[in-house]
Amino acid sequence: MIDPTPLWDFDDPAASELRLRAAAEEADPDDRLVLMTQVARALGLQEQYDEGHAVLDDLSPTGDEVAVRIALERGRLFRSQGDPEQARPLFEAAAQTAVAAHLDALRVDALHMVALVAEPADQLSIAEEALAAARASSDPQARDWDASLLNNIGMTHADAGDFEAALASFRDALAACERIGDPARIRVARWMVAWSLRNLGRRDEALAMQRALKAELDAAGRTDPYVDEELALLE
């Protein structure tokens, strides 16, 4: 089936919605169903939750992938609406169906959403299950989930006050981002490492990293308030 990823710009869900709708009009029936699940997601990112649910209500799954995507996007809508209790069983159902259908990337996506709505005590183990699934997959899209999952695991450790464990996870996340090769994600991952170093009292190392990020941003004519905030704290 069609991969909707190239049609997405998560910083501009309204424009993404238009692209997805236009592609759906030209797509064959099965691909159209996939694309319309992403229209529902784009509506949710615009806080148009009722409209997103209505789009999903009109879809009848013709196979496992569409069923997984409908459950996943329905769950995302509920989570964004502030209803994690309704969202979690949908994410769990999506993950279970994806396992049986060998849809590795969707399984990892669903597990990562389960971790986000789980109780704090359960979040780490679920995120680690998702990471193991990503690393074991032969699907490059599934494997590339490791960067986001490692970042989430790092934040879970940081929220618990364990910045040594957080730093290790953020370093692994940085290596994953470098493998994927997205410059914006690499910068964020470097910032997370530097942030952890500051919280561990390793201020000189943190300062050097943030200054390097600032120099790169200046050279590109860009700014990042988070880098500036860290520099203000460190200098």
Question: What span, in angstroms and rounded, lies between the C-alpha atoms of 210 and 194?
Answer: 7
Question: What span, in angstroms and rounded, lies between the C-alpha atoms of 16 and 27?
Answer: 16
Quote the Cα angle for 216-222-227, to 5°.
Answer: 65
The answer to whether 173 touches 192, Cβ cutoff 8 Å, is yes
Q: Is the pLDDT of residue 138 over 90?
A: yes
Q: Is the pLDDT of residue 89 over 90?
A: yes
> Could you tell me how far CA 233 lies from the centroid of its own chain?
28
pLDDT for residue 62: 85
Write the CB contacts of 67 (distance below 8 Å, at least 6 apart in sequence): 61, 97
Quote the Cα angle for 118-188-105, to 5°.
Answer: 50
Kindly report the pTM of this predicted structure.
0.88
Question: What span, in angstroms and rounded, lies between the C-alpha atoms of 19 and 8?
Answer: 8
Place of tokens 């970042």: 151
DSSP state of 160: T
Question: What span, in angstroms and rounded, lies between the C-alpha atoms of 219 and 229?
Answer: 19
Question: What span, in angstroms and rounded, lies between the C-alpha atoms of 46 and 205?
Answer: 39
Mean residue pLDDT across the chain: 95
Domains of the chain (ranges; CATH) run 144-235 (1.25.40.10)
The answer to whether 188 touches 217, Cβ cutoff 8 Å, is no
Whole-number Cα distances in Å, 231 to 63, 211, 213: 51, 7, 10
Reported as a single tens digit per residue, the pLDDT across 172-191 is: 999 999 999 999 999 999 99
Reported as a single tens digit per residue, the pLDDT across 21-43 is: 999 999 999 999 999 999 999 99
Question: What span, in angstroms and rounded, lies between the C-alpha atoms of 148 and 154?
Answer: 10
What sign for the dihedral angle of Cα 74, 115, 176, 213? positive
Q: Is the pLDDT of residue 167 over 90?
A: yes
